[in-house]
Amino acid sequence: FIALLTLFTGEFLQFIDNPIFIITGQALRYLGIVGLAYAVASYRIVDVRTRIRRTLAFFIINILSALPLIIAIVLILNFSSDLNQYNKNLTLLLIAIVVALGFLLYDPYRRVIERITFRYLGSEGLNSNLIIRNYSQAIARTLDVQQLSVLIAGTLSEMLETNRCALLLVSQQEDGRYEIEPIAGMGPLPRDIIVFPAKDRFITLLAEEHQPLLQYDIDFNPVYSDINEAHGEWLKEMAMEGYVPISDGDEIAGIIAAGPKGTGLPYQSNELELMQTLADQTIVALQNARLYSVLNAQNEQVRLLNEDLVDQNEKLEVMDRVKTDFITIASHELRTPLTQVKGYADILAAMNEENALSRDQTREIVGHINRATLQLEGLITDMLETSQLDVDEMRLTFVKTRLQSIIKLAMEPLIQALRERRITLTQEGVDELPPIYADYKRLVQAFTKLLGNAVKYTPDGGRITVTAALIPSVDEEEAYFEVIIQDSGIGIDPKYHELIFEKFFRIGDPQLHSTGSTKFKGAGPGLGLPIAKGVIEGHNGRIWVESEGEDEQRMPGSSFHIILPVKPAEVEIEPIPELEERPSYLIG
């Protein structure tokens, strides 16, 4: 702009009919042409604003520094022009004293003038020694990378009034590439880690030449025209003005990225030199901070591993106790019906020998034997179902059905227990769901286990609520529905929320075990919930429990959440008519 203005001014003066203006115009035109040629040939233009500020500051400082002494001498000379010889000698002595005081006070006075002038013109010099000393003392106490970045940002902000700064951690990979991770110090910046090639011009200059690099050079210097476009965009997104390498001489460990100065002026050579000195002071602190970070990460990993090991040990102890409890419970579950079978068989044999059996007595004894046999069959069936979960042999046959009919059949074996124990069971939204695709028999089995579990741990006079709702999605075939079985029972301790779905796990003392299937707190062998989970997961669903904890006084209750797809993906639908209800004897 200045070159063009000079050129146009010279051209204008050429038209004035005056030799002086013509000569001046020719000179200005020549200077304008030289300036334009320089601007075209050079990527870095002279900072005219800084030059003007410095020149103006030079004249102001020198004029103001000499002005008091000149005024004092002029006043003394004017005052002493009419005095006699004696007074003139006194005046000369006074002048000598003033000059001496001037020499003594000149340096302090000039420094005050310089400080005021630089403050308003933005050309204040940097006290390098003080800055380096304070910075070195501060980073010596820093062992955190984030704190180090904030400290660097604070120093540059105080020194150069920058409003953005970051510490870029540089790690050289085995293939020679450089991984750069930004650590924010002041102002927002992208958190993405970026990888630069080993021969990238940006990283090469910083690593090998150990010289600061300005964003202006990256944008306009032809030397950096081969920088990868993605890397160039990343640097622009950083919105930084300068990059200063942190290196120990062998390899680069980091980069100080400084944003624009608050004054809007470009960085000067003395400022870049000072920033490079600060970067050189940072290398040891950065290496220590990174080692400290690695050590902390390893300690955290060890801590997590120890916690996981403790959790696994506790889980192993629980599962070991579960196996022992299962043997106790299984023997009790088997012994009771076997004792009944043997006892009634002995009675039947004895009465038969005495010919004392009537038709009604025979029917009653056979009924007791059948019930005991069914109890044994149920336990063995559950154990076989559990073994199928281990080897993933649960075969599902998907048919079109409705959740309403599944819940109805699942409740059927529990109706008498609900009446005897005065437990209220309500349904909400179950009949509003569309038809679903599922293994009818298996899903009835799963909900029977879940509802039976709710009945066992709900006190007499309690309530159970079955809530169902559709969870629509973009694709109709990927829609899900959720079923929540909520009871007003004793609740479940949060530490058991996952363990209750493990095989053979049960809460409570096995010595208090009851063979009753619906008696309050009459826990079974610990197979019901694992089977229910296996069936639901076989349908590509999920199940989990929510409960505040176990409390037999407050009765916080439990909520079992089941999420199932309306139509599981990648399944073959059997050409079986839609099923609404099936006899209970078909339910395994």
Q: What is the mean pLDDT of residues 94-114?
A: 75
**Residue 239 above 50 pLDDT?**
yes
CA dihedral angle for residue 522, residue 524, residue 530, residue 532, rounded to 10 degrees: -60
- Give phi and psi for 65, each to the nearest 5: -70, -40
- What is the share, in percent, of the chain residues with pLDDT greater than 70? 74
Select the more confidently predicted residue: 523 or 107: 107
- What is the share, in percent, of the chain residues with pLDDT greater than 90? 16
Left if phi > 0, otherwise alpha if psi is -120 to 50, otherwise beta: which for 255?
Answer: beta
**Residue 588 above 50 pLDDT?**
no
Structure tokens that stand for 535 in this block = 């069936």
**Helix, strand, coil percentages for the chain (3-state, nearest 5):** 60, 15, 30
- Give phi and psi for 399, each to the nearest 5: -135, 165
Task: Tell me the per-residue pLDDT of 137-166, one tens digit each, with 9 for 90 and over.
Answer: 888 888 888 888 888 888 888 888 888 888
Q: How far apart are CA 17 and CA 40, in angstroms?
A: 33
Q: How far apart are CA 79 and CA 278, in angstroms?
A: 56
CA dihedral angle for residue 284, residue 289, residue 292, residue 293, rounded to 10 degrees: -140
**Residue 216 above 70 pLDDT?**
yes
Q: How far apart are CA 449 and CA 455, in angstroms?
A: 10
Amino acid letter, 164? R
**Residue 126 above 70 pLDDT?**
no
DSSP class of residue 187 equals S
pLDDT of residue 584: 41
Supply angle C-alpha 512, 513, 514, rounded to 5: 120
128-296: CATH class: alpha beta
Q: How far is CA 484 from CA 159, 425, 468, 558, in A?
A: 63, 13, 6, 10
Select the more confidently predicted residue: 471 or 332: 471
Scored b (16 or more CB within 10 A) or e, 394-426 reads: eebebbbbbbbbbbbbbbeebeebbeebebebe
Binning pLDDT at 50, 70 and 90, where does residue 582 land?
very low
**Of the given ranges (211-220, 321-330, 493-502, 550-559), which has the lowest mean pLDDT?**
321-330
pLDDT of residue 578: 46
Tell me which range, 151-160, 227-236, 407-416, is most confidently predicted by mean pLDDT. 407-416
- Segment holding 468, helix H or strand E: strand 463-471
Question: Strand order in 194-196's β-sheet?
Answer: 194-196, 178-186, 165-172, 252-258, 242-247, 213-214
pLDDT of residue 406: 94
- Give phi and psi for 237, each to the nearest 5: -65, -30
Neighbours of 283 (CB within 10 A): 17
Q: How far apart are CA 280 and CA 374, in angstroms?
A: 84
pLDDT of residue 383: 67
**Residue 49 above 70 pLDDT?**
no
Select the more confidently predicted residue: 146 or 372: 146
Task: Tell me the per-residue pLDDT of 20-48, one tens digit each, with 9 for 90 and over.
Answer: 767 776 777 777 677 666 555 554 555 55
End-to-end alpha-carbon separation of the chain, Å? 92
**Of the given ranges (24-28, 425-429, 570-574), which has the lowest mean pLDDT?**
570-574
pLDDT of residue 482: 94
Q: What is the mean pLDDT of the chain?
A: 78
- Nearest in space to 324 (alpha carbons), one of 494, 526, 517, 519: 526
Angle between the N-to-C axes of helices 403-411 and 440-456, in degrees from 0 to 180, rounded to the nearest 10:
50
**Residue 376 above 90 pLDDT?**
no
Q: How far apart are CA 503 and CA 384, in angstroms?
A: 12
pLDDT of residue 563: 94
pLDDT of residue 491: 92
Could you please report the per-residue DSSP string of 469-489?
A: EEE--SSGGG-EEEEEEEE-S
**Of the given ranges (286-295, 296-305, 371-380, 471-480), which has the lowest mean pLDDT?**
471-480
**Residue 555 above 70 pLDDT?**
yes
Supply angle C-alpha 469, 473, 477, rounded to 5: 95
Q: How far apart are CA 13 and CA 361, in angstroms?
A: 138
Q: What is the mean pLDDT of residues 241-258?
A: 87
Half-sphere exposure of 21 (CA within 13 A, CB side): 9
Please, are residues 238 and 258 in contact by the beta-carbon 8 Å criterion? no
Give 546's strand partners. Answer: 559
Domain ranges of the chain: 2-121, 128-296, 394-586
Work out whether the CA dihedral 153, 156, 161, 164 comes out positive or negative: negative
**Residue 583 above 50 pLDDT?**
no
**Residue 66 above 80 pLDDT?**
no
Amino acid letter, 204? T
Please, are residues 482 and 562 in contact by the beta-carbon 8 Å criterion? yes
Please, are residues 65 and 113 in contact by the beta-carbon 8 Å criterion? yes
Tell me which range, 268-282, 317-331, 448-462, is most confidently predicted by mean pLDDT. 448-462
Task: Tell me the per-residue pLDDT of 181-201, one tens digit each, with 9 for 90 and over.
Answer: 888 888 888 777 888 888 888
**Of the given ranges (78-87, 154-163, 324-333), which has the lowest mean pLDDT?**
78-87
**Residue 511 above 90 pLDDT?**
no
Could you please report the per-residue DSSP string of 288-337?
A: HHHHHHHHHHHHHHHHHHHHHHHHHHHHHHHHHHHHHHHHHHHHHHHHHH
DSSP class of residue 459 equals -
- How many residues are recorded in the chain? 588
**Residue 423 above 90 pLDDT?**
yes
- Segment holding 271, helix H or strand E: helix 269-353
**Residue 294 above 90 pLDDT?**
no
Select the more confidently predicted residue: 156 or 86: 156
pLDDT of residue 579: 43
Please, are residues 50 and 268 in contact by the beta-carbon 8 Å criterion? yes
Tell me which range, 150-159, 225-234, 563-572, is most confidently predicted by mean pLDDT. 150-159
394-586: CATH class: alpha beta
pLDDT of residue 290: 85
Q: How far apart are CA 584 and CA 413, in angstroms?
A: 8
